[in-house]
Structure 1
C-alpha cells in the first residue's frame, strides 16, 4: 500500500477533494502557507494498484507535474473505507499487483547508477569474472555477477519504451552497449596481463578450462536464461520485489560470456570469441525483448493517452525487430548446439562400436580403459578431430587386426576426417 502526499495548487482544492470523495478515499488536508501558488497538502492512503488510476484522474482535473506528488510505502492502514478500496483494486491478477507507472519510472531511473560508477563497477565485475573463469571457480564467477550494475540499463530500455520516455530508452541503450564493450575490453586487457606475466601456466589451453569452454560454445539453452532474466527482472521492479537476486541472474547472462570473449581475444584466438560474443548480444536482446513484452502485458501505457497509438506502434516495431534479431542469433546458437550434439553422438556411437569389437573372443585379452575424443575445426563449431583409445592388454603386445577394425568402425560413425590413435597399457595377470 502507498501513502500519497499531493501539493494542491491554488484554486484546485475543491476539484481534488471532490475526486477523492467520489472514489471513497480517506484523506487528510493541511493548509499550505510556504508558497503562494499552493493552497493545501492532501495526504491519502491507496492500495498499490490504485495509485496510477487515481493520479491519472487527478491529473485530468488540472493537477500537473508542477504540483509535486510524493508516493511512499505505508506499513498499515486501519480503515473500513480503505478495505473496500483494496477489494476494488486488488483482484489477484498481474495488473493488480504492479506498482504505478510513475513509481516504475522512478525505479528504473534509480536502478541505473551514475556514469562513472557504472563503468567502474562493470570493469571490476568483468575482471573478477575473468579471474574466476581462469581459476575455473564457479564461486568467483558468481561473485562477479553480484557486483555487476547491469539490471538498471537492461530494464530501463523496456520501461522507457512502454511509458513513452525516449530519454530513458536512449540512455539505457547506450549504457547497455557501453557495458558490453567495457566488459569485453576490460576482460581482454586483464587476461592479457595475466598471460604475459605467467600468472597462469604458460601452456594453458582455454578450451581445457570447463568454465571457459562452456561459454565459448554456447547452446540454445542460454536463450532461456536470458528470456527468464528479462521477465523476472521486470516483474521484480513492477511489483517492488527484491531486485538483487534478479540482478545476479541478468548479470549471469552477460558478464561471464563477456569475460570469456575477452579471454579468447587475449589468447590470440578471436574465432573462439565468436560464440561468447554472440551469446552476450543475444542475451542483451533477449532481456530487452522479454522485458518489453512483459511490461506491455502488465498494462503499462504512456501517461499521455494521446500518444498511446504512436507508443503502441513503436513498441510493436521494437518487439518485431528484437524478435527477428534474436531469431537470427538463435539460429547461430542452434548451429553450435547441433555441432556439440554431433560430437556427443559420435563419441557415444564410437564408444559403443569399440566395446562391440572388444567383445570378440579374438580380442578377449584386451579391455577398454579410456575413450577420448579431441575436437577441432575451430570455435564455436567444433568437430571430432582425433580419437584416442587406451586399451589394457598383455605387455609389449599389439594387435594389427584389432587396430584395423577399431579404425574402420570408429571412422564410420562420422563424415569428418578423424584420426584414430590406439594406445596400450600393459597388464600383468596375477
Structure 2
C-alpha cells in the first residue's frame, strides 16, 4: 500500500478531484497558501497496483513533472472505500504489489550508490574475490559477491530504457562498464603481487585451481545463472522481494569471472583470460537482456500514451543488440559444452572397455583403479587430450598386450586421435607403500 501527497496547480483543482472521485479514492484536500502557484494539497491512500494508472490519469489532468508528488509506504489503511479500491485493482483476485513506474525509477536510482562509494566497494570486492580464487576458497569468493554493489547499475540501465529516462540508462551502463574494469584492474594488480611473492598455490598452471577452472572454460549452463539473475533482479525491484539477496546472485555472475580475468592475465595465460572475459561479457549481456525483457513483459512503459511508440524503438534496439551479441558470444560456450559432453561419453565408453578387457582370464590379477578423460590446456576451447587408465597389479613389469588392447578398444569411441595412457600401480608389501610405472600408447604406438 502507498500513501500519496500531490500538490495541485492553480486552475486544475476541479479536474484533479474529478479524477479521484471517478476512481473512488478516499482523499483529503488542504488549501496551499505558499503562493508558489499551487491551489491545494491532496492526500490519499492507494493500493500499490493503482499508483501508476492513477498518476497517469492525474498527469493528463494537469499534474505535470513540475508538480510535487510524494509516494510513501503505508502500513495499514482502515477504510471501506480503500477496500473497494483494493478489490478493483486486484486483477482477477490477485492482490499483488506491482511497483509503479514512478516508484521503480526512484528505487533503481537508490540502488545505485554514489560513485566514490561504488568504486571503493568494488575495489574491496575485487581484492576479496582474487584472494578467494587464489586460495581456492568458495567461502571467501561468496563473501566478495555480498559486498559488490552491482544490482543497482544492472537494473537502472534497463529501467531507464523502458521508461524513457536517458539519464538513468546512461548512468547504469557507465557504472557497469566502469565497475567491471575496476575489478579486472584490481585483480591484475593483486595477482601480480601474489605471483612476485611466490604465492602460487597451484604452481605455474594456476587454472587447475577448482574455483578458477570453472570460470576460464565456461559452458552454456553459465547462461542460466546470468539470465536468472536478470529476471530475479527485476522481480525483486517490482514485487518487493529482497534486493540484497538478488544482488548476490548478480555479483556471482560478474565478480568472480572478472577477477579470474585479472589472475590469468597476471599469470600470462591469455587463452584462459579470453575464456573468462567471454564469460564476463556474456553474463553482462544476459543480465541486461533478461532484465529488459522482463520489464517490457511486465508492462512498464513511459508516461503518457504518446510516449510509448518512441520508447518502443530504443527498447527493441537494445534488446536486439543484447540478443545478437549474446548469440555470437555464446558460441564458444556451446563449443565447450560439446567438448564436455564428448568427454563424458568417452569416459562412459572407456569404463565399459576397461571392464570388458580386464574380465578376460589372463588379466584376472589386475584391478582397475580409475579411468579419466583429460582435456588439453588450450583455453578456452579445449579438446580431449588423453585417456588415463590406472590399474593395480602385483606384477611390476609392463604389459604391452594389455596396453594395445585398451588403446584399440577406447580409440574406436573417440572422434579423433587420442592418447591412451595405462598406468600400472604396483604394491610393495615390504615397505607398505606403492610405486608407479607408466606405460601409454598413442595412435597405435607404445611408449614406456
Coarse TM-score class (shorter-chain normalised): over 0.9
Contact 1:94 1:298 in 2 (8 A): no
Is 1:228 the equivalent of 2:228?
yes
Q: 1:194 to 1:416 in 2, by over 3 A?
A: farther
Moved more, 416-425 or 315-324: 416-425
Structure 1 residues 209-250: Cα deviation after superposition (integer angstroms, max 9, x where no partner)? 111111111111111111111111111111222111111111
Is 1:64 the equivalent of 2:103?
no
Contact 1:158 1:292 in 2 (8 A): yes
Aligned-partner Cα distance in 2 for 1:156–1:49: 21
Aligned-partner Cα distance in 1 for 2:319–2:36: 47
Is 1:338 the equivalent of 2:338?
yes
Q: For residue 2 of structure 1, report the CA deviation from its aligned partner.
A: 0.3
Unpaired stretches in structure 1, ≥5 consecutive residues:
none
Q: 1:242 to 1:296 in 2, by over 3 A?
A: same
- How big is the alpha-carbon RMSD for the aligned residues of Structure 1 and Structure 2? 2.1
Contact 2:135 2:201 in 1 (8 A): no
Is 1:419 the equivalent of 2:400?
no
Say which SS state the counterpart of residue 108 (structure 2) adopts.
helix
Aligned-partner Cα distance in 2 for 1:6–1:340: 60
Q: For residue 108 of structure 1, report the CA deviation from its aligned partner.
A: 0.9
Say which SS state the counterpart of residue 144 (structure 1) adopts.
helix
Say which SS state the counterpart of residue 97 (structure 1) adopts.
coil
Contact 2:3 2:43 in 1 (8 A): yes
Aligned-partner Cα distance in 2 for 1:185–1:411: 44
Q: 1:83 to 1:95 in 2, by over 3 A?
A: closer
Q: For residue 38 of structure 1, report the CA deviation from its aligned partner.
A: 2.5
Specify the alignment match of 2:385 in structure 1.
Answer: 385
Contact 2:134 2:201 in 1 (8 A): no
Specify the alignment match of 2:29 in structure 1.
Answer: 29
Q: For residue 8 of structure 1, report the CA deviation from its aligned partner.
A: 2.0
Contact 2:89 2:95 in 1 (8 A): no
Q: For residue 372 of structure 1, report the CA deviation from its aligned partner.
A: 3.2
Specify the alignment match of 1:317 in structure 2.
Answer: 317
Aligned-partner Cα distance in 1 for 2:92–2:251: 30
Say which SS state the counterpart of residue 98 (structure 1) adopts.
coil
Aligned-partner Cα distance in 2 for 1:96–1:61: 27
Specify the alignment match of 1:51 in structure 2.
Answer: 51
Contact 1:145 1:252 in 2 (8 A): yes
Q: For residue 359 of structure 1, report the CA deviation from its aligned partner.
A: 1.1
Contact 2:132 2:138 in 1 (8 A): yes
Aligned-partner Cα distance in 1 for 2:117–2:36: 40
Report matched runs for 1:153-302 at 5 Å: 153-201=153-201, 203-302=203-302
Contact 1:49 1:97 in 2 (8 A): yes
Q: 1:147 to 1:219 in 2, by over 3 A?
A: same
Moved more, 48-57 or 119-128: 119-128
Say which SS state the counterpart of residue 148 (structure 2) adopts.
coil
The total of aligned residue pairs comes to 430
Aligned-partner Cα distance in 2 for 1:320–1:356: 53
Aligned-partner Cα distance in 2 for 1:228–1:92: 28
Q: For residue 345 of structure 1, report the CA deviation from its aligned partner.
A: 2.1
Q: For residue 87 of structure 1, report the CA deviation from its aligned partner.
A: 0.6
Contact 1:358 1:367 in 2 (8 A): yes
Say which SS state the counterpart of residue 34 (structure 1) adopts.
coil
Specify the alignment match of 1:108 in structure 2.
Answer: 108
Unpaired stretches in structure 2, ≥5 consecutive residues:
431-448
Contact 1:395 1:425 in 2 (8 A): no
Specify the alignment match of 2:39 in structure 1.
Answer: 39
Q: 1:146 to 1:94 in 2, by over 3 A?
A: farther
Aligned-partner Cα distance in 1 for 2:93–2:380: 43
Say which SS state the counterpart of residue 219 (structure 2) adopts.
coil
* TM-score, reference length from structure 2: 0.91
Q: 1:246 to 1:3 in 2, by over 3 A?
A: same
Q: For residue 410 of structure 1, report the CA deviation from its aligned partner.
A: 3.0
Contact 2:49 2:96 in 1 (8 A): yes
Q: For residue 92 of structure 1, report the CA deviation from its aligned partner.
A: 5.7
Aligned-partner Cα distance in 1 for 2:84–2:147: 43
Moved more, 186-195 or 395-404: 395-404
Aligned-partner Cα distance in 1 for 2:136–2:377: 24
Structure 1 residues 225-279: Cα deviation after superposition (integer angstroms, max 9, x where no partner)? 1111111111111122211111111111111111112111111101111222111
